[in-house]
Amino acid sequence: MIPFVNFVKTATVLKLEYFIAKRIGEAKTNSYSKPVVWISYISIALGLALMIISVAVVIGFKQSISHKIIGFASHVQIIPFDNNESLEAKPLDITGSFVDSLRQHPDIKHLQFTARKAGVLKSEEQVQGIVIKGIDSGYDKAFLQESLVEGSFPDVSGEKTSNEVLVSVDLAKMMRLSIGDDVRLWFVSGEQAQARGRKLSIVGLYQTSLEEFDGVYIFGDLRHIRKLNNWNENQAGSIEIYLQHPDKLDEVASQLYRRIPYDLNLITVTNSYPQIFNWLALLDMNVIVILTILILVATITMISTLFILIIERTRMVGALKAMGANNASIRKIFLYRASSIILKGMLWGNIIGLAFYTLQYNFKLISLSPADYYVDYVPVSLSMPHFLLLNGGAFVACMLMLIVPSHYISRIVPAQALRYE
């Protein structure tokens, strides 16, 4: 029975503390703390809104650019091991037991066979060095279809070798080409002194805003490269692998590397394009610095606000102490009041941040230069866990920072406080 009585007493005290804190907030007086409270609202609202925007933009950038790079290069590539400096690619066998084991691997979502060959694209007015990437009917074309600007994807599923190719918008403008035009590609293979040509037809234009790819790559039938390199139908230049869980890239790559034959090598997408992924990693550090600064600004503002609230209510603190209230109970009153200010500011911060996110996500209001940022607009992405973590972290950080200054209440003497004007 005694524990229940203690519980009722505790609940009554907490209810009283919350009631007093609420009455303080609802009091309509011309106190000098009101402008400070409004400044706190604005500081917290803008701080949280900027935190939401910063995290959404960074996550959006990383996802958008990573998606493009992986769409071109896959998560993992297995290629023939070659120590020489020759530009002529070596083939690998795609019918062995190793390839069959890859198909059964639980972490591999999809694998495909490709080959690359450098050549020269010649039109009536221009000559440009290019790389043709050979693909077959098993190629995952989802990314290129997303990037398709005009026309269609080459049909490489027929029995005969297809002459259809997919060219980037940048390359088409440079060479003054359009859909339906025939182009000449010239290649030199092995020790052949005479170049070998192929007449191909443009059926589609793509654009990814990745200058390293758009200005170079043409997509066509893998069988063209096999014929040019004198390979058979069971040979390809590389095996491209897409994973079920991209976050396990290093772990899966390490497993596969220990299992591949001695004459093959494994390359991950992060190793192929370290400059891009290092740049994306720097964005994480930038957003951490931004979040730290914004939280510090908000907490410093709240500390100042709490001091002013306590000073303004010095006589009330003295009266409560005179009636027997302890320091911990009075601190809770002001912490309740501070939490109310923080929550109201966070409410408006969420409204502002989510409004920006929704507008940018749906209408892409802020544009960028693709040549500098790899995308033509500011991408945003925000998951519920990130949203809740931002709100929870901001609230907890502010409240923890307020515990120390709230101990100022213990220095207030009731006899002096009741004479305070």
In 226-378, the DSSP E strands lie at 235-236, 238-243, 264-268
247-306 pLDDT per residue, tens: 999 999 999 999 999 889 999 999 999 999 998 989 889 899 999 999 999 999 999 999
3-state DSSP assignment of residue 174: helix
As a whole number, mean pLDDT of residues 88-102 equals 88
What is the share, in percent, of the chain residues with pLDDT greater than 70? 91
The residue length of the chain stands at 421
* Cα–Cα distance for residue pair 231/129, rounded to 1 Å: 23
Distance CA 326, CA 321 (A): 6
What per-residue confidence (pLDDT) applies to 18? 83
Q: Convert the pLDDT of each residue in 27-84 to its tens digit.
A: 665 566 788 899 999 999 999 999 999 999 999 999 999 999 999 999 999 999 875 5
pLDDT level of residue 326 (50, 70, 90 thresholds) = confident
Match 């005479």 to its residue by tokens: 194
The Cβ of residue 40 has, within 10 Å, a number of other Cβ atoms equal to 26
Calpha distance 111→53 (Å, rounded): 36
State the angle between helix axes of 274-312 and 327-363 in degrees (0 to 180), rounded to the nearest 10: 140
Task: Please give the C-alpha separations between residue 220 and each of 88, 113, 162, 171, 213, in angstroms, as whole numbers.
Answer: 19, 13, 8, 15, 15
Q: Please report the pLDDT score of residue 419 as a whole number.
A: 65
Q: Taking Cα atoms as reference points, which of 209, 263, 236 lies closest to residue 116?
A: 236
The predicted-structure confidence for 116-160, as pLDDT tens digits, reads as follows 999 999 877 788 999 999 999 999 999 999 999 999 999 999 999
Question: To which residue do tokens 């026309």 refer?
Answer: 151
Q: What pLDDT shows up at residue 193? A: 59
CA–CA gap between residue 301 and residue 298 (Å, rounded): 5
Question: Is-above-0.75 flag for pTM?
Answer: yes
- Inform me whether the pLDDT recorded for 86 exceeds 80: no
Note whether 200 and 220 are within 8 A (CB). yes
Q: How confident is the model at residue 7 (pLDDT cuts 50, 70, 90)?
A: very low
**CB 378, CB 60: distance < 8 Å:** yes
Would the pLDDT of 6 be above 70? no
Residue type, 187: F
* Residue 403 one-letter amino acid: I
Q: Dump pLDDT digits (tens) for 226-262.
A: 999 989 999 999 999 999 999 999 999 999 999 999 8
Neighbours of 70 (CB within 10 A): 19
pLDDT score, position 117: 93
